[in-house]
Structure formats: structure tokens, C-alpha cells
Structure 1
Amino acid sequence: MSDQAVLLLRKQLKELSRNPIEGFSAGLVDDCNVFEWQVTVMGPPETLYEGGFFTCNMSFPKDYPNKPPTVKFVSEMWHPNVYADGRVCISILHSPGNDPNGYEDASERWSPVQTVETIMLSVISMLSDPNDESPANVDAAKEWRDDYPAFKKRVARCVRRSQEE
């Protein structure tokens, strides 16, 4: 299974280097390990994150594409769908099958047809449109709902820091 994962990840990396996708750039953390990627996400235009350059790591399991990678921001990130430790919480990164908590339909969760491109486009979409209904970061979601000016100010600080990194 690991050989299939290596081939697939190399193919996806090659495709992204040949045909870059607007909004992010990706590469390996270490050329010897195709399972660890570093991705720079550009803050989407016309959002609070615009102008930011946010670094995150993608860690792929050995049984990829049957299981999803984890995506974790290394840059400071304040967002309802990003845990305090930087881990991204979006449906397509949740293990395949039925949601044991009943929040997500199986069709919204991980599927082996997902690629680095579709994952990162989902992360960019998440930045553009936070889901505060089932937040990973309850404090960010509460601030988003109850004190939007403070939320904006905190995100602006994250954007500035990302530009300095």
C-alpha cells in the first residue's frame, strides 16, 4: 500500500509543479520523504485573510489515499475551523464512512478521489467562509459571532505576522 501512496503523492507533486494552482504552493518538507509536505496558502482575496502567507504542513498516512492526511497550520491562525494547535478541521479531512457524531454525511467526508489540490481548495474555501456551527476553535467561533471587530483585529494580526515570517 505504501508503494501506491508514494507513486500517487509523487504524481500529485509533479502535477502541481507543472500546473500551479492559484491560492497555494506546495512542496516537500524533505526531498527524501514524500509523506510530509509544506504548503503556503495565500489569504483569499476579499476576505479577512487577504494578503497573508500562511504556512501549513500536510502529513500523509502510509495508506493514503484510503485515509486522509492531516493539515496543520504552522503560521499563527485564528479561525473557527482551526484548532488552537493549528490542525484544520474540515469534513473532507475526516476519516471515511459515517460520522459517529451524526454531524456529517458520509459523502462529505474523506474519499480516495481527493487530492492535494482539492484539499487545499477546501482549506482556502474554509478561510473564505468559516463554519461556526461545529467549530474546532470555540473561542474563535464565539468571537466571530459575538465580537466581530475583535475577531477582525486578531485575524489582521495573524496576517501581519504571516507576512513577516
Structure 2
Amino acid sequence: MSEHQSALLLRKQLADLNRNAVEGFSAGLIDESDIYKWEVLIIGPPDTVYEGGFFKAHLYFPVEYPLRPPRMKFITEIWHPNIDKNGDVCISILHEPGDDKWGYEKASERWLPVHTAETILISVISLLADPNDESPANVDAAKEWRENYPEFKRKVARCVRKSQEESM
């Protein structure tokens, strides 16, 4: 797929998201002149420890999209087993397509060209509600989630408060 085709596809996906809003997030461009760099605002899902939070993240799409996955990075501080301390999201559907050389993931769990910005964001919201502590990007958060949940909740609550203050 040429750069032009991927840009057209991304413009269509962004227009669709803005026309038919999906509960839990909003999306736009970081810079109006670059369709490959999106800014998203994820609202902490109800009935989770992230409820009430406003978490800003960036999606960076490669020119080979949809044949290759974007990268996603939280800009707002967030404490989560599958988001590393730099904010990079570690979720199977954002991993390069094909077999996992370490054998942790099936090819069907990894990036597939049928995924869209919407399916990625819905998957990340789902990940907030239900972390995968078997394959953590933030080992400390995963250990805390398993072994000291009250402390995990306290750290998340601090991130939620900070995200609320930053969004004002």
C-alpha cells in the first residue's frame, strides 16, 4: 500500500471516528499537516480503578499502515502492568504481524490489517479494565497488581487525580 493510500485510509478512519463518536475516547491529529500522528484522549473506563481519569496518548502510524501496526504511547502518567514507565503500550494487537519468535503469542493475536484505530483504542480501554499480568511491560505494576492491590490502587488513583488536574 502506498503512502498515499495509507494516508487516505487514516483520513477516512479519523473522519468516521469524529462523525460516529465511540464512548470512552476521542481522537484528532497532533499536527493538522501529519495524518500519521494522532492524539487520543482516553477516559478511564467506568467501574475500574481508572474511572474519572483523562489519559492523553499518541498513536504513531507507519506509512505501511494497515500492513504494519502503529505504536501507542501514553503522554499522561499512568500506572498499569501493560504500559511501560515511558508510556509505551504493550498489547498483542500492536505487535508486528506473524509468529512471535518467543512463542508467547499466536499470529492471530498479533497485528492484522483488519484492525483500525477504533479497534486499537477499544482494545486499550479493555486492557485498562483487565490487565494482562502474564506479559507485563511494567513488571513493578504487574507485581503490585497481583501482590499488593491496595498499593496498586493508590498509585492509579494518584495518576487519575493528576490526569484530571492536567485536563483543566
- CA distances 1:77-132 after superposition (whole Å, capped 9, x unpaired): 10000011000000000000001110000000001110000000000000000010
SS in 1 for 2:30: strand
Runs of 5+ unmatched residues, structure 1:
none
Residue 73 (structure 1) aligned with residue 84 (structure 2): no
1 CA distance for matches of 2:157 and 2:72? 22
2 CA distance for matches of 1:131 and 1:141? 8
Instruction: Report the TM-score when normalising by structure 1.
Output: 0.99
Runs of 4+ that moved beyond 2 A: none
Give the alignment of 1:22-33 within 5 angstroms: 22-33=23-34
Residue 50 (structure 1) aligned with residue 68 (structure 2): no
What is the CA distance between 1:162 and its match in structure 2?
Answer: 0.5
Cα RMSD of the aligned pairs, angstroms, is: 0.4
Runs of 5+ unmatched residues, structure 2:
none
Number of residues of Structure 1 aligned to a counterpart in Structure 2: 165
SS in 2 for 1:44: coil
Match of 1:161?
162
SS in 2 for 1:130: coil
The residue type equivalent to 2:130 in the other structure is D
What is the CA distance between 1:10 and its match in structure 2?
Answer: 0.2
2 CA distance for matches of 1:127 and 1:67? 23
The residue type equivalent to 1:57 in the other structure is H
SS in 2 for 1:25: strand
1 CA distance for matches of 2:82 and 2:101? 19
Residue 133 (structure 1) aligned with residue 145 (structure 2): no
